């Protein structure tokens, strides 16, 4: 197995939550996450169909250096090796996504070879005592559906429900599926995919983004009762990416800019899910872009969920550029990652406490992604990713403070398990606990991974 570790003393204190943290209590879940297109590779194997990301990557100028996910981390062919890494880390759970184009053909019939990969994945997790958090949609829509309009076509929501039905039936009884997730970050799918064109399918219209969001959320709501019927023992929910907004200056105008940012970044998704309505302030930013909503749609979208996954990375500082406009303010003196995102752990606590205050029906929360990209290199057989170690420790502390203040957080998944294909940034940005040499596919546990493993070992009393 091409895996390198370092025989050193315990690194647990480099990342561990504070002494006495509620995160240390029995039952709190620690994990790591990945997504199908970012790690699997095998893009043309065993009947897998083209996805919107295959097409997007093949379009000149869309992805840095013209890179793609054809091989990625070759996870499809290195499954057991990667499962052993999860076991070595000692995580309670693994969050992964299913590649929709891998498991169904254009007529909606199951692809047995593709489905078998996920059966082996779940069986492998179960044999290693690791729970599974399964995401159905992490952005790799089958291209044939995009050719019919993608998420701009209401029919895609119904095709998504059929896909959810197939997979929850096919994978029933395999491993220990603790949770089913409908969508990962519908904001990214809708806005980056259909609003500003930074992600697949690369369309640019705020009106399209609003309509795509509605159909994504409709698909979520349609899938929920199906998932509950097929997997009654599991939790069922959705994962959203959130960020708090802060006024650059303490003026009414900048405070309004911060409100507008949080409306389009957070409430655009949360209000339909938890209140059954779109926030009216959103249409101050996007005048005339309201989606077509049919009778009964919002009741479907606001069906109760068992948990809400939150992906948190950074904050935004906002200033007003005039009525109903916002401008992002960049302060160069603050610590940043190689994504140019500010390191701001306090934002996680502020965000969670605001959600607890604003949503009376807020379900239990899981941090389903948190982590950072850095320029990691293997030196002397080791990767001493100092910034990531400090990042995790400070964010664990922020989560602990939020829990102390009454926020119901039940798990924390570090993003990501391994370096991978980082969407439009190709392979340049490294988020992994595990370093991947993309030429040789050699895996090397970074010091953050060793520290995480040591902490989990000590917590378990091993």
Q: Percent of the chain having pLDDT more than 70?
A: 98
Q: Are 411 and 31 in contact (CB under 8 A)?
A: yes
Q: What is the DSSP track for 343-387? A: --THHHHHHHHHHHHH-TTPPPEEEEE----B----BTTB---HH
- Assign 462 a pLDDT band (cuts: 50, 70, 90): low
Q: Are 382 and 447 in contact (CB under 8 A)?
A: yes
Q: Is 332 exposed, middle or buried (0-12, 13-18, 19+ CB in 10 A)?
A: exposed
Question: Is the confidence at residue 103, as pLDDT, over 90?
Answer: yes
Decide if 382 is catalytic: no
**Two structure tokens written together for 86:** 């999860």
pLDDT at 404 (0 to 100):
98
Question: Is the confidence at residue 341, as pLDDT, over 70?
Answer: yes
Q: Cα 156 to chain center, whole Å?
A: 21
Q: Are 19 and 87 in contact (CB under 8 A)?
A: no
pTM beyond 0.95, yes or no: yes
Question: Is the confidence at residue 16, as pLDDT, over 60?
Answer: yes
Nearest 5°: the CA angle 142, 144, 146 is 75
pLDDT digits (tens, 9 = 90+) for 176-233: 999 999 999 999 999 999 999 999 999 999 999 999 999 999 999 999 999 999 999 9
pLDDT digits (tens, 9 = 90+) for 282-292: 999 999 999 99
Question: Is the confidence at residue 9, as pLDDT, over 70?
Answer: no
Delimit the domains of the chain by residue range: 3-459
Given the residues 369, 379, 382, 458, the one annotated as active site: 369
Torsion of CA 146, 288, 276, 210, to 10 degrees: 20
Q: Are 419 and 436 in contact (CB under 8 A)?
A: yes
Across 389-412, average pLDDT: 98
Question: Is the confidence at residue 6, as pLDDT, over 70?
Answer: no
- Assign 8 a pLDDT band (cuts: 50, 70, 90): low
Question: Is the confidence at residue 1, as pLDDT, over 60?
Answer: no
Question: Is the confidence at residue 3, as pLDDT, over 80?
Answer: no
CA distance 278 to 263: 10
Superfamily of domain 3-459: Glycosidases (3.20.20.80)
Q: Percent of the chain having pLDDT more than 90?
A: 97
Strand-pair category, 29-33 with 93-97: parallel
Q: By C-alpha distance, which of 33, 128, 84, 79 is closest to 417? A: 33
pLDDT at 461 (0 to 100):
85
CA distance 314 to 311: 10
What angle, rounded to 10 degrees, do the helices at 112-127 and 79-89 form?
A: 30
Question: Is the confidence at residue 299, as pLDDT, over 90?
Answer: yes
Asked, as a colleague might, if the bond just before 450 is cis with ω within 30 of 0, I would say no
**Two structure tokens written together for 302:** 């606001």
Q: By C-alpha distance, which of 447, 455, 441 is closest to 39? A: 441
Output the average pLDDT for the chain: 97
């Amino acid at each position: 197995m091409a895996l390198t570790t370092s025989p050193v003393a315990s690194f647990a204190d480099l990342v561990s939550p504070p002494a006495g943290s509620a995160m240390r209590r029995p039952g709190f879940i620690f994990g790591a996450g990945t997504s199908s297109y970012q790690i699997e590779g095998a893009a043309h194997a065993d009947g897998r169909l083209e996805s919107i990301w295959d097409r997007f990557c093949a379009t000149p100028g869309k992805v840095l250096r013209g890179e793609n996910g054809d091989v990625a981390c070759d996870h499809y062919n290195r499954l057991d090796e990667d499962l052993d890494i999860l076991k070595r880390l000692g995580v309670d759970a693994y969050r992964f996504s299913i590649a929709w184009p891998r498991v169904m053909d254009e007529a909606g019939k199951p692809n047995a070879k593709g489905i078998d990969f996920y059966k082996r994945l779940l069986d492998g997790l179960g044999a290693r005592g690791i729970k599974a958090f399964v995401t159905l949609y992490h952005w790799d829509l089958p291209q044939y559906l995009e050719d019919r309009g993608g998420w701009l076509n209401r029919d895609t929501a119904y095709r998504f429900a059929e896909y959810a039905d197939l997979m929850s039936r096919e994978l029933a009884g395999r491993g220990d599926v603790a949770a089913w997730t409908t969508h990962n970050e519908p904001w990214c799918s809708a806005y980056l995919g259909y609003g500003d064109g930074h992600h697949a399918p690369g369309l640019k219209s705020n009106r399209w983004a609003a309509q795509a969001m509605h159909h994504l959320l409709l698909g979520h709501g349609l899938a929920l009762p199906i998932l509950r019927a097929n997997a009654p023992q599991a939790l069922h929910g959705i994962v959203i990416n959130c960020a708090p907004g802060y006024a650059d200056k303490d003026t009414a105008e900048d405070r309004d800019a911060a409100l507008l940012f949080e409306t389009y970044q957070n409430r655009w998704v949360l209000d339909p899910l938890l209140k059954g309505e779109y926030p009216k302030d959103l249409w101050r930013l996007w005048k005339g872009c309201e989606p077509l909503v049919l009778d009964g749609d919002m009741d479907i979208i606001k069906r109760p969920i068992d948990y809400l996954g939150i992906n948190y990375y950074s904050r935004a500082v906002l200033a007003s550029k005039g009525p109903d406009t916002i401008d992002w303010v960049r302060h160069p003196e603050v610590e940043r990652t190689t994504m140019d995102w500010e390191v701001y752990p306090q934002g996680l606590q502020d965000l969670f406490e605001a959600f607890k205050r604003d949503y009376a029906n807020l379900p239990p929360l899981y941090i389903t992604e948190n982590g950072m990209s850095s320029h990691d290199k293997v030196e002397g057989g080791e990767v001493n990713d100092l910034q990531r170690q400090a990042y995790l420790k400070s964010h664990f502390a922020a989560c602990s403070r939020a829990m102390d203040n009454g926020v119901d957080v039940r798990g924390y998944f570090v993003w990501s398990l391994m370096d991978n294909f980082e969407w439009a940034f190709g392979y340049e940005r490294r988020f992994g606990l595990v370093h991947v040499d993309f030429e040789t596919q050699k895996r090397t546990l970074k010091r953050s991974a060793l520290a995480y493993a040591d902490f989990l070992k000590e917590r378990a009393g091993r």
